């Protein structure tokens, strides 16, 4: 079946095709996407590098088992729509995951080429075919089964909720997605900035789901506007999927954290991404005026990286990332770290804030930090940072963003007494069936696992959809007592 004319030896001689990027000097001041996407020539050249392994290691690295070798072979054959369809068998959001998956630790991290050469650019190719599909002729909407007469409510419109909605609506169930915010997409619209994930891509997916018949109801906070019990007992929903994410921001709990000028990454990114504060005053929501000022972001994950690069784009003079370990331990995607450095983001590693300092008017004026050194490995296997006594120093900044991760938002849990949670407040759900302690209620995504990734949330959403489909058919709720 291989359309690849090259013998394996020659394939390894081709260098990994570089992703065309917007120049760092320009992009550090705009919100346009950094990666421009491979050209057809670039994509087909890159695809030719694949060794078409009999036992593709890459697939074992993908959390949803995308048939990587097979979709790459279809690219080599020039069948891009076929390649897109192949990916869609396992992954319903390829234009998104191709952009945001941590490929280096997943598919590409396992690619056999990577042992000696550069791994295959799987993420770039996934993105290429998904974009091709979106821009050139639709595959058409999938077939929708005749109405089953069953109603499912999905709470939360992030990747978990959206992918579950897609499956359930195809099987003929009536699906309503309730979203607290005014826009659909979860972290994909309020968290991840447009320079990594243009909003039009998320909108395209949401519109496709709407055309398939998914009913989106924004501005509904389940637990406040309506409860799960009311949805099931009064509004006739046969099953409910809780996919509310892990949106509760964590703070450092150090002096000065309430000063004007200190915000959570969620607040800073929401103002810019969801509310378009970068276009103030054309849009009404303000954001801290970074122009010509120094900004520090605290943290080392994707959220921190997004926040510090956003501050740079808002015109900051100095955009500084403060992280308590070293660059090697940063959980952010390597591409983001590389892009950030190209954009002039400064990394201040092995430093930990101990206080925010105020000016005479009560606004933020700086961050006091302690120097750290790496000690013994902790439970996560990473070497844990240890403060160096007496090493305090101050960094003058006008704004600071705290990006230390997020926890479980309790709104749904606290309004649903019979929904069991774990000690950290996440919803207890069976890892396979995603059933909760409450009959007919399932949970998936970050609200079960804690903050994770788009692809894991999507996979969980689809597993939940399968379990919901099964429950709607059989009506059986067997393993309820196993949970909680």
Ligand X SMILES: Cc1cc2nc3c(=O)[nH]c(=O)nc-3n(C[C@H](O)[C@H](O)[C@H](O)COP(=O)(O)OP(=O)(O)OC[C@H]3O[C@@H](n4cnc5c(N)ncnc54)[C@H](O)[C@@H]3O)c2cc1C
Binding of ligand SF4 by 469 (CB under 6 A):
no
Q: How far apart are CA 425 and CA 421, in angstroms?
A: 5
Binding of another protein by 225 (CB under 8 A):
yes
Identify residues 155-174 at the interface with ligand X (CB under 6 A). 155-161
Task: With CA atoms as reference, report the closest residue to 67 among 19, 121, 122, 12.
Answer: 122
Binding of another protein by 236 (CB under 8 A):
no
Binding of another protein by 2 (CB under 8 A):
no
Binding of another protein by 276 (CB under 8 A):
yes
Binding of ligand X by 222 (CB under 6 A):
yes
Q: How far apart are CA 463 and CA 431, in angstroms?
A: 9
Identify residues 286-325 at the interface with another protein (CB under 8 A). 286, 288-289
Identify residues 405-434 at the interface with another protein (CB under 8 A). 409-411
Task: With CA atoms as reference, report the closest residue to 349 among 333, 366, 372, 368.
Answer: 372
Among residues 252 and 452, whose Cβ is nearest to another protein?
A: 252
Q: How far apart are CA 32 and CA 351, in angstroms?
A: 31
HSE-up of 51 (CA within 13 Å, CB side)?
A: 20
Query: Among 33, 133, 430, 446, which residue sits at the site for ligand X (rule: CB under 6 A)?
Result: 446
Residues 340-359 as x/- pattern, contact with ligand X by CB under 6 A: --------------------
Query: Which helix (H) or strand (E) covers residue 94, if one does?
Result: helix 94-100
Residues 375-414 as x/- pattern, contact with ligand X by CB under 6 A: ----------------------------------x-xx--
Query: Which helix (H) or strand (E) covers residue 455, if one does?
Result: helix 454-474
- Residue 264, SS3 per DSSP: strand
Among residues 15 and 377, whose Cβ is nearest to ligand SF4?
A: 15
CA angle 369, 333, 104 (to 5 degrees): 140
DSSP state of 28: T
DSSP state of 261: T
Residue 408 backbone phi and psi in degrees, to 5: -80, 130
Task: With CA atoms as reference, report the closest residue to 112 among 17, 42, 12.
Answer: 12
Contacted by 259, from another protein, ligand SF4, ligand X, none: CB < 5 to 8 Å by type: another protein
Q: How far is the CB of 113 from ligand SF4 (least distance, A)?
A: 5
Residues 29-68 as x/- pattern, contact with ligand SF4 by CB under 6 A: ---------------------xxxx--xxx---x-x-x-x
Q: Residues touching another protein: how many (CB under 8 A)?
A: 43
Q: How far apart are CA 25 and CA 15, in angstroms?
A: 26
DSSP state of 345: P
Identify residues 411-430 at the interface with ligand X (CB under 6 A). 411-412
Among residues 18 and 235, whose Cβ is nearest to another protein?
A: 235
Counting Cβ atoms within 10 Å, is residue 65 exposed (0-12), middle (13-18) or buried (19+)? middle
Query: Among 95, 154, 187, 290, which residue sits at the site for ligand X (rule: CB under 6 A)?
Result: 187
Contacted by 280, from ligand X, another protein, ligand SF4, none: CB < 5 to 8 Å by type: another protein
For the stretch 278-283, contacts whose Cβ atoms lie closer than 8 Å and that sit 24 or more positions apart, written own/partner, are 278/31, 278/310, 278/313, 278/314
Tell me the C-alpha to C-alpha distance, in Å, between residue 325 and each of 46, 299, 349, 352, 381: 35, 10, 6, 9, 13
- Residue 86, SS3 per DSSP: helix
**Which tokens in the block code for residue 80?**
């891009």
C-beta of residue 434 within 8 angstroms of C-beta of residue 390 = no
Q: How far is the CB of 78 from ligand SF4 (least distance, A)?
A: 18
Contacted by 254, from ligand X, ligand SF4, another protein, none: CB < 5 to 8 Å by type: none
Contacted by 58, from ligand SF4, another protein, ligand X, none: CB < 5 to 8 Å by type: ligand SF4
Query: Among 58, 180, 330, 465, which residue sits at the site for another protein (rule: CB under 8 A)?
Result: 180
Tell me the C-alpha to C-alpha distance, in Å, between residue 195 and each of 30, 100, 203, 231, 251: 8, 11, 15, 38, 26
Contacted by 271, from another protein, ligand X, ligand SF4, none: CB < 5 to 8 Å by type: another protein
Q: Residues touching ligand SF4: how many (CB under 6 A)?
A: 28
Binding of another protein by 247 (CB under 8 A):
yes
Binding of ligand SF4 by 263 (CB under 6 A):
no
- Residue 311, SS3 per DSSP: helix
Residues contacting 107, CB < 8 A, separation 6+: 58, 59, 61, 62, 66, 68, 101, 122, 123
Identify residues 342-361 at the interface with another protein (CB under 8 A). none
Q: How far is the CB of 88 from ligand SF4 (least distance, A)?
A: 11
Instruction: Select the span of 36-44, 99-107, 161-169, 340-348 touching ligand SF4 (CB under 6 A).
Output: 99-107
The binding site for ligand SF4 (CB under 6 A) comprises: 50-53, 56-58, 62, 64, 66, 68-69, 72, 91, 97-98, 101, 103, 106-107, 111-113, 120, 122-123, 126, 455
List residues binding ligand X (CB under 6 A): 100-101, 155-161, 178-181, 186-187, 191-192, 220-223, 243-245, 247, 269, 302-303, 306, 333, 409, 411-412, 445-446, 451-455, 457
């Amino acid at each position: 079946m291989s359309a690849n004319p090259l013998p394996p030896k020659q394939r390894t001689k081709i260098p990994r095709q570089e992703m065309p990027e917007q120049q760092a000097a320009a992009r550090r001041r705009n919100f346009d996407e950094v990666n421009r996407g491979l050209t057809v020539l670039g994509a087909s050249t890159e695809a030719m590098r694949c060794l078409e392994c009999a036992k593709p290691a890459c697939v074992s690295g993908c959390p949803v088992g995308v048939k990587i070798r097979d979709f790459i072979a279809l690219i080599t054959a020039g069948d891009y729509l076929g390649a897109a369809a192949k990916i869609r068998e396992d992954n319903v959001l390829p234009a998104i995951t191709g952009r945001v998956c941590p490929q280096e630790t997943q598919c590409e991290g396992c690619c056999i080429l990577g042992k000696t050469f550069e791994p295959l650019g799987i993420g770039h190719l996934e993105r290429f075919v998904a974009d091709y599909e979106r821009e050139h002729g639709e595959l058409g909407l999938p077939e929708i089964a005749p109405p089953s007469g069953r109603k499912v409510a999905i709470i939360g419109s992030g990747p978990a909720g959206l992918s579950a909605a897609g499956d359930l609506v195809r099987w003929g169930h009536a699906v309503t997605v309730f979203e607290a915010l005014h826009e659909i997409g979860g972290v994909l619209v309020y968290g991840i900035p447009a320079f990594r994930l243009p909003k039009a891509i998320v909108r395209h997916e949401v519109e496709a789901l709407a055309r398939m018949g998914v009913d989106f109801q924004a501005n509904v906070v389940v637990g406040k506007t309506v409860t799960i019990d009311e949805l099931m007992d009064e509004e006739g929903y046969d099953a409910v999927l809780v996919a509310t994410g892990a949106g509760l921001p964590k703070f450092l709990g150090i002096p000065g954290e309430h000063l004007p000028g200190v915000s959570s990454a969620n607040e800073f990114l929401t103002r810019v991404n969801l509310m378009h504060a970068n276009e103030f005053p054309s849009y009404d929501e303000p954001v801290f005026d970074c122009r010509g000022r120094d900004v520090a972001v605290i943290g080392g994950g994707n959220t921190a990286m997004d926040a510090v690069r956003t501050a740079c784009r808002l015109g900051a003079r100095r955009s500084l990332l403060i992280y308590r370990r070293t660059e090697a331990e940063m959980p952010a995607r390597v591409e983001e770290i590389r892009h950030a450095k190209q954009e002039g983001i400064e990394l201040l590693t092995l430093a930990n804030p101990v206080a925010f300092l105020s000016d005479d008017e009560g606004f933020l004026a700086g961050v006091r930090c302690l120097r750290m050194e790496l000690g013994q490995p902790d439970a996560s296997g990473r070497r844990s940072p240890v403060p160096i006594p007496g090493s305090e120093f101050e960094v003058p900044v006008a704004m600071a963003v705290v990006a230390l991760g997020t926890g479980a938002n309790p709104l749904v849990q606290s309004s649903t007494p019979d929904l069991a949670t774990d000690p950290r407040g996440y919803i207890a759900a069976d890892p396979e069936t995603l059933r909760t302690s409450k009959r007919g209620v399932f949970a998936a995504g970050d609200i079960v696992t804690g903050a994770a990734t788009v692809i894991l949330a999507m996979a969980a959403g689809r597993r939940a959809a399968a379990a919901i489909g099964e429950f709607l058919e059989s009506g059986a709720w067997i393993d309820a007592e196993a949970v909680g």
